Amino acid sequence: MKLMFYGAAREVTGSCHGVEVNGKKILVDCGLQQGADNGLGQSFAFHAGEIDRVVVTHAHIDHTGRLPLLVKQGFKGSIYATEPTCTLLELMLRDSAHIQELEVGWRNKRYRRAGDDIAQPLYTIADAECVFPLLVRCRYNEVIDTGDGVKIRFSDAGHLLGSSYVEMWLTEGDEKKKLVFSGDIGSPDHPMICDPGYIKEADIVVMESTYGDRSRPEAFDTVTELAKVIDTTLSRGGNVVCPSFAVGRTQELLYHIREIKERGLVRKCPDFPVYLDSPLAGATTKIYSGELPGYLNEEAVSLIRDGIQPLSFNGLSIVDTAEESKLLNDDRTPKVIISSSGMCDAGRIRHHLKHNLWRQECAVVFTGFMAIGTLGRIIVDGNVKSVTLFGEDIAIKCQIHNFRSMSSHADREGLLKWIGAFEPKPESVFVVHGERDICKMFTARLIGEGFNAIAPKFSAIHDLLTGEAVFEGRDIMRRDDQEYQLRRESAVYQRLMLAGTRLLEVITRNRGGANKDLEKFADQIDALSGKWER
Ligand SMILES: [Zn+2]
């Protein structure tokens, strides 16, 4: 019975954990690496064909974006997720594949001109569509027997529509263990979705730590503050540009803007136009506005009961085509533009930043977490006077606002409250999904509170029965680390490191095998090492 850390180990994106029981392997999440390149790219530290099933905590791409790659590389099992997660995944994975196809297309134009080999997308829309037949739609709070000694239950994490904690019961012979995977833990008082719940029992917990170093600003009234920014910016003739995650954050923004309009909080221009410039966000908004019994909070349910569409208001236009999107830049009417990607790494938002960042009268409002290395993080950090967009130097002269209160992640106090609800304390708490220093800091805090907390390194393997590390894993280096700058390694060398990690895993799986076989295996490794010794 083992637990493996294949992603988001001392990092924020690329969530991917493995569980091994009765000789079967289960993945919990299979996320895309975003932001700064950690040198590993999107490679897996295992063979996709070895995985028997996948459990998905929620639809965000940093938890699901490599599912098409997994299927493309040979995964054939079932993928368990809540009903809204499955519905959102069909949109999001198609969109992710579309972005990858587009980006490779642009890159290949350059490669061809330079006479270089052309690149292939990580996966295509056709690959993404192969994921959908494997999805098993589950409801909250139902225990599901997935076979091979594994039972699971999803419960509301209050982070995104359909987001969940996963409880996992493992039985191997006489041994039993209960694991809990937090996925992303939500924060209270978010529009449309319920507040995060709590779980009381677990032997082992794997929890996120995104905001493990900070508290949410108190007494910040998002609706009033957003109304103020819109009012002042539109009055001076500027646009308000909101880079926003198409799924979740965008719907939250629309919910707030509907309230702003309803209460008449933008006095000088009460009928201001709002453009939702993201086909994915438009399609997602339709899902949020549909029949979702059991997944919306009471306030949203009562609005709908009163005949009010929570995400709809006068002046809202959904921009479909790229041509319509470009036209927005020529139109000088002050407006609100909501566009993605949320971290400004790709998508139409980059065009809007190009046309608005340099204009003093405009404002850019950030509403979520920006991973290191993303354009969003660079702008929010405020250490640069300009950024490069589409090969052009663009000055940053507009107002920059960071609405941290809108984050859908629990802050430090929320995380402590969540882990504090377990009674008694779990045997071990593995802290993941946090920037390296934050992850370490939060782990130290948990140790101070009496938990056996560990911040596992990438590809670490823990034996759940002995409680010991079978393999400590290794620190991955980011391209922006000084250390990494000094000894930058080639992609091929990284591949070799992954092969080494896999070899160690194969060794641990052979534990208890016949002595004759183990000896033969050891001889082969010795011979291989001897051959390559430098
Ligand atoms: Zn998330």
**Whole-number pLDDT of residue 318:** 93
For ligand 1, the distance from its centroid to the CA atom of residue 445, given in whole angstroms, is 23
Q: Which of 36-40, 206-210, 482-486 comes out lowest in average pLDDT? A: 482-486
For ligand 1, the distance from its centroid to the CA atom of residue 443, given in whole angstroms, is 20
Q: At 486, is the pLDDT very low, low, confident or very high (cuts 50, 70, 90)?
A: very low
pLDDT in tens, 7-35: 877 776 789 999 999 999 999 999 988 75
What is the arithmetic mean of pLDDT over 41-57? 91
pLDDT in tens, 83-132: 999 999 999 999 999 988 888 887 788 888 888 777 888 899 999 999 99
For ligand 1, the distance from its centroid to the CA atom of residue 415, given in whole angstroms, is 15
Q: At 484, is the pLDDT very low, low, confident or very high (cuts 50, 70, 90)?
A: very low
Percent of the chain with pLDDT over 90: 61
Q: Which residue has the higher pLDDT, 1 or 491?
A: 1
Packing angle of the helix pair 436-448, 412-420 (nearest 10 deg): 40
For ligand 1, the distance from its centroid to the CA atom of residue 184, given in whole angstroms, is 5
Q: Look over the chain and give the mean of its residue pLDDT values, rounded to a whole number.
A: 89
For ligand 1, the distance from its centroid to the CA atom of residue 34, given in whole angstroms, is 13
**What is the four-CA torsion angle of 267, 268, 270, 271, rounded to 10 degrees?**
180
Q: At 496, is the pLDDT very low, low, confident or very high (cuts 50, 70, 90)?
A: confident
Q: Is the pLDDT of residue 202 over 80?
A: yes
For ligand 1, the distance from its centroid to the CA atom of residue 161, given in whole angstroms, is 10
Q: At 485, is the pLDDT very low, low, confident or very high (cuts 50, 70, 90)?
A: very low
456: tokens are 């596992």
For ligand 1, the distance from its centroid to the CA atom of residue 58, given in whole angstroms, is 7
For ligand 1, the distance from its centroid to the CA atom of residue 43, given in whole angstroms, is 21
For ligand 1, the distance from its centroid to the CA atom of residue 265, given in whole angstroms, is 30
What is the arithmetic mean of pLDDT over 151-157? 98
For ligand 1, the distance from its centroid to the CA atom of residue 65, given in whole angstroms, is 12
For ligand 1, the distance from its centroid to the CA atom of residue 284, given in whole angstroms, is 15
Q: Which residue has the higher pLDDT, 448 or 437?
A: 448
Are 19 and 45 in contact by the 8 Å Cβ rule? The answer is: no
pLDDT in tens, 314-324: 999 999 898 99
For ligand 1, the distance from its centroid to the CA atom of residue 493, given in whole angstroms, is 31
For ligand 1, the distance from its centroid to the CA atom of residue 185, given in whole angstroms, is 8
Averaging pLDDT over each range in 53-57, 96-100, 400-404, 519-523, which range is the top one? 53-57
For ligand 1, the distance from its centroid to the CA atom of residue 358, given in whole angstroms, is 31
Q: Is the pLDDT of residue 477 over 60?
A: no
Q: Is the pLDDT of residue 309 over 80?
A: yes
Distances (CA, A) of 89 to 63, 123, 270, 358, 359: 11, 15, 36, 36, 37
For ligand 1, the distance from its centroid to the CA atom of residue 19, given in whole angstroms, is 21
The DSSP bridge partners found for residue 25 are 20
For ligand 1, the distance from its centroid to the CA atom of residue 72, given in whole angstroms, is 24
For ligand 1, the distance from its centroid to the CA atom of residue 113, given in whole angstroms, is 39
- Residue 25 and residue 2: Cα distance in Å, rounded? 9
For ligand 1, the distance from its centroid to the CA atom of residue 55, given in whole angstroms, is 15
Q: At 490, is the pLDDT very low, low, confident or very high (cuts 50, 70, 90)?
A: low
For ligand 1, the distance from its centroid to the CA atom of residue 105, given in whole angstroms, is 28
Q: Is the pLDDT of residue 478 over 60?
A: no
The residue assigned the tokens 């191997």 is 172
Q: Is the pLDDT of residue 40 over 70?
A: no
For ligand 1, the distance from its centroid to the CA atom of residue 63, given in whole angstroms, is 7
Ligand 1 (ion): residues with CB under 5 Å are: 60, 184
Instruction: Give yes or no for a cis peptide into 341 (omega within 30° of 0).
Output: yes
343: tokens are 């971290």
* Secondary structure letter of residue 132 according to DSSP: G
For ligand 1, the distance from its centroid to the CA atom of residue 62, given in whole angstroms, is 7
Contacts of 481 (CB under 8 A, 6+ apart): none
Using a cut of 0.85, tell me whether the model's pTM lies above it.
no
Q: Is the pLDDT of residue 401 over 80?
A: yes
Q: Is the pLDDT of residue 483 over 80?
A: no
Q: Is the pLDDT of residue 70 over 90?
A: yes
CB burial of residue 112 (10 Å; 0-12, 13-18, 19+): exposed
| Ordered alpha helix ranges (H), 209-321 | 222-235, 249-262, 279-288, 298-305
**Whole-number pLDDT of residue 369:** 78
What is the identity of the amino acid at 419? I
User: CA end-to-end span of the chain, whole Å?
Assistant: 37
**Whole-number pLDDT of residue 482:** 45
Are 54 and 26 in contact by the 8 Å Cβ rule? The answer is: yes
For ligand 1, the distance from its centroid to the CA atom of residue 318, given in whole angstroms, is 24
Q: At 463, is the pLDDT very low, low, confident or very high (cuts 50, 70, 90)?
A: very high
**Whole-number pLDDT of residue 522:** 92
